[in-house]
Chains A and B, each alone.
Chain A
Amino acid sequence: MSSAGDGVSSAGDGVSSAGDGVSSAGDGVSSAGHLLEVKTLGAGYGIVEVLFGVDLVVDPGEVVVVLGANGAGKTTTLRAISGMIAATGQVKFLGESVLGRRPDQLAKRGIAHVPQGRGTVTALTVEENLRIGAYVRSDDQIESDIQQWFEAFPRLGERKDQLAGSMSGGEQQMLAIARALMSRPKLLLLDEPSLGLAPLVTHEVFDRLREISASTGTAVLLVEQNANLALEFAARAYVLEAGRIVLSGNSADLQGDAAIQKAYLGV
């Protein structure tokens, strides 16, 4: 694979292992600089192992995507990081080992996870969903944050007293993301926000996400099947195959390499 030297590293080519590619990950700098550091992460459901040692890092404010086909272990990776399922290996957040903590404990530390299938609380109203998103906060800016979301997404404001379950898929996805960001997280985990959405709506969701991440400095770890869209959005990418990271690098390099596109991204 000729691309190994130009910013893309592949786990199989012996040049460098996944996770410390030539990227903004900051090798050489002390690992304390990473917001999230995942090493040899293993997880599964019952006796079925899904992950076999996933390594990845996310730096503060960085937007990173994990690409992979159905069943590669993308969702499992996020669920293991946020404590929804048991896992082995190492997960460090802000330099502290957080493996084995419950999701609500991680939420308090600044990890917000939008699970697949939107994950709005359907029996609460739109406004209540935003309010519950701020559960870990106790400052006096919660109300003004809610108003800001209503201004940013007028659709949410118009329907603030409506049950979340009655909104369209795109609206629920936006609400789920807004709710996650109401906690003012340091890291946002996003599980396939494009799933089940029309292409136009998906683009809108990603445009909004880009603005929000840039203005608030929130780091985003996204898992996606839609490779082209995600590579435009994220600065850096990992490719997950059968529970292992097989490739990592800058999005631009991955996008520009026809061989990689063909081999891993199915484009």
Chain B
Amino acid sequence: MRDFLQILLVGIGDGAVYAMLGLGLVVIYRSTGLLNFAQGEMAMFSTFIVWTMWSLGLPMWLAILGGMAGGFCVGALVHQVAVRPVGDPHEKPLAVVIVTIGLFLGLNGAAQLIWGTLDRSMPPLFGRGQVTVFGVAVAWQKIGAVIVLGVMVLLFYLLFQHTKLGLAMRAVASNSESASLVGIPVPRLLMLGWGLAAAVGTVAGVFIAPNLGLGTNLMQLTLIFGFAAITLGGFDSLVGAVVGGFVVGALSSVMPRYITIFEKMPLAPAFILILAVLLFRPEGLFGKKQVTRV
């Protein structure tokens, strides 16, 4: 039992990070109506910015803020240069999704050019210590991830549900034509959505990098867990991303331990989950079922 709890808690700690990446995906989805396959690579890129600032001698918290600001600029620039010229995501969703896949490759290549192909190491934000709860050891780093995740969700909830800016972002995502007719500067808000999503990704990267080592492939597996998380939770739901992240983290941690076939296939539980959700509840646990009368 203690063994199970231990594995479960490790999984939930991992899940907090999947949830952070999922948050970035939800933010882009809610502000632009688009699934962004480059989300992981934007996070990797800005995590490298954090590493660069930190290795230049800045304190970690300042480096993270700098990385988030840098990530914001990368996200905004990516939108202006690569996404906006392609056209309205509502009119050509496929074209824009393909662009995000191109961005995936482009950002990865750019990071390799700038930072090389060697893995860098980054210290865990909350140290390497752990605390024992009911006989189960939990790393402070994982507890910290859960707390930071909670703060992020709260901030985004306040932004989307309780500010004029957040309402405008949601309007743009749902109907950009009507949004523009009520006076919302649509291109500027889309740019903001991309910037915010990239900034959120930075935080996810900072939590993952100490475990996996900071390389250009940092986010490639994690992104799949992130997609599994928001598929389960619902593409437009912040809470869904969190719950989905925890469930995906727990499943991916527990199942290989007890079902031998998953030992060799650590991604399989996530894929099975995506398939099952799409089959039985396509809108996810917390997603809004869109009802539209024509």
- Assuming the A-B contacts A115-B177, A119-B175, A124-B171, are A135 and B290 also in contact, with contact meaning beta carbons closer than 8 angstroms in the complex? no
A94 at the interface (CB under 8 A from B): no
Task: Check if A128 sits within 8 Å of B167, measured CB to CB.
Answer: yes
Task: Check if B181 sits within 8 Å of A123, measured CB to CB.
Answer: no
Task: Check if A132 sits within 8 Å of B167, measured CB to CB.
Answer: yes
Measured in the bound complex, the distance between the Cα atoms of B174 and A167 in whole Å is 16
By secondary structure, the A interface counts as mixed
A82: contacting residue among B171, B181, B293, CB under 8 A? B181
Task: Check if A163 sits within 8 Å of B175, measured CB to CB.
Answer: no
Residues of chain B within 8 A of A156, CB atoms compared: none
Measured in the bound complex, the distance between the Cα atoms of B179 and A113 in whole Å is 11
Residues of chain A within 8 A of B185, CB atoms compared: 102, 104
Q: How many residues of B contact A (CB 8 A)?
A: 24
A104-115 vs B, Cβ < 8 Å mask (1 yes, 0 no):
100110001111
Measured in the bound complex, the distance between the Cα atoms of B164 and A165 in whole Å is 21
- Chain A min CB distance to B92 (Å): 15
Task: Check if B164 sits within 8 Å of A121, measured CB to CB.
Answer: no
Q: Which residue of B lies closest to A119 (CB)?
A: B178
B293: contacting residue among A104, A124, A172, A180, CB under 8 A? A172
- Assuming the A-B contacts A84-B177, A128-B167, are A122 and B290 also in contact, with contact meaning beta carbons closer than 8 angstroms in the complex? yes
B182: contacting residue among A84, A107, A165, A168, CB under 8 A? A107
Q: Which residue of B lies closest to A111 (CB)?
A: B181
- Chain A stretch 58-117: residues in CB contact (< 8 A) with chain B: 82, 84, 102-104, 107-108, 112-115
Residues of chain B within 8 A of A104, CB atoms compared: 180-186
B206-225 vs A, Cβ < 8 Å mask (1 yes, 0 no):
00000000000000000000
Measured in the bound complex, the distance between the Cα atoms of B179 and A119 in whole Å is 9
A19 at the interface (CB under 8 A from B): no
- Assuming the A-B contacts A124-B170, A124-B174, A131-B167, are A163 and B291 also in contact, with contact meaning beta carbons closer than 8 angstroms in the complex? yes
Residues of chain A within 8 A of B236, CB atoms compared: 123
B288 at the interface (CB under 8 A from A): yes
Task: Check if B170 sits within 8 Å of A179, measured CB to CB.
Answer: no
- Chain B min CB distance to A77 (Å): 15
B132 at the interface (CB under 8 A from A): no
A183 at the interface (CB under 8 A from B): yes
A134-149 vs B, Cβ < 8 Å mask (1 yes, 0 no):
0110000000000000
Task: Check if B183 sits within 8 Å of A136, measured CB to CB.
Answer: yes
Residues of chain B within 8 A of A168, CB atoms compared: 293
By secondary structure, the B interface counts as helix
Measured in the bound complex, the distance between the Cα atoms of B181 and A121 in whole Å is 11
Q: Which residue of A lies closest to B175 (CB)?
A: A121
- Chain A stretch 157-199: residues in CB contact (< 8 A) with chain B: 163, 165-169, 172, 179-180, 183
Task: Check if B171 sits within 8 Å of A108, measured CB to CB.
Answer: no
Measured in the bound complex, the distance between the Cα atoms of B93 and A239 in whole Å is 38
- Chain B stretch 276-294: residues in CB contact (< 8 A) with chain A: 288, 290-293
Q: Which residue of B lies closest to A165 (CB)?
A: B292
- Chain B stretch 160-177: residues in CB contact (< 8 A) with chain A: 164, 167-168, 170-171, 173-175, 177
Task: Check if A121 sits within 8 Å of B179, measured CB to CB.
Answer: yes
- Chain B min CB distance to A185 (Å): 10
Residues of chain B within 8 A of A166, CB atoms compared: 291, 293
- Chain B min CB distance to A175 (Å): 11
Measured in the bound complex, the distance between the Cα atoms of B184 and A131 in whole Å is 12
Measured in the bound complex, the distance between the Cα atoms of B180 and A172 in whole Å is 18
Task: Check if A115 sits within 8 Å of B182, measured CB to CB.
Answer: no
Task: Check if B290 sits within 8 Å of A113, measured CB to CB.
Answer: no
A120 at the interface (CB under 8 A from B): yes
Measured in the bound complex, the distance between the Cα atoms of B167 and A102 in whole Å is 20
Task: Check if B180 sits within 8 Å of A103, measured CB to CB.
Answer: yes
- Assuming the A-B contacts A103-B181, A107-B181, are A121 and B171 also in contact, with contact meaning beta carbons closer than 8 angstroms in the complex? yes
Task: Check if B171 sits within 8 Å of A102, measured CB to CB.
Answer: no
Measured in the bound complex, the distance between the Cα atoms of B164 and A136 in whole Å is 11
Task: Check if A119 sits within 8 Å of B181, measured CB to CB.
Answer: yes
Residues of chain A within 8 A of B186, CB atoms compared: 104
- Assuming the A-B contacts A135-B168, A183-B183, are A121 and B178 also in contact, with contact meaning beta carbons closer than 8 angstroms in the complex? yes
- Chain A min CB distance to B143 (Å): 36
Task: Check if B293 sits within 8 Å of A108, measured CB to CB.
Answer: no
Task: Check if B177 sits within 8 Å of A119, measured CB to CB.
Answer: yes
- Assuming the A-B contacts A128-B167, A132-B168, are A165 and B177 also in contact, with contact meaning beta carbons closer than 8 angstroms in the complex? no
Measured in the bound complex, the distance between the Cα atoms of B289 and A78 in whole Å is 33
- Chain B min CB distance to A88 (Å): 21
B140-176 vs A, Cβ < 8 Å mask (1 yes, 0 no):
0000000000000000000000001001101101110
Residues of chain A within 8 A of B184, CB atoms compared: 104, 132, 135
Residues of A within 8 A of B (CB): 82, 84, 102-104, 107-108, 112-115, 119-124, 128, 131-133, 135-136, 163, 165-169, 172, 179-180, 183
A-B contact sample (11 more), CB < 8 A, given A84-B177, A120-B178: A104-B183, A113-B181, A115-B177, A121-B174, A121-B179, A123-B236, A124-B171, A128-B170, A132-B184, A163-B291, A165-B293
Q: Ordered nearest first, which 6 A-B pairs have the shortest CB separation?
A: A107-B183, A123-B174, A136-B183, A165-B292, A103-B180, A119-B178
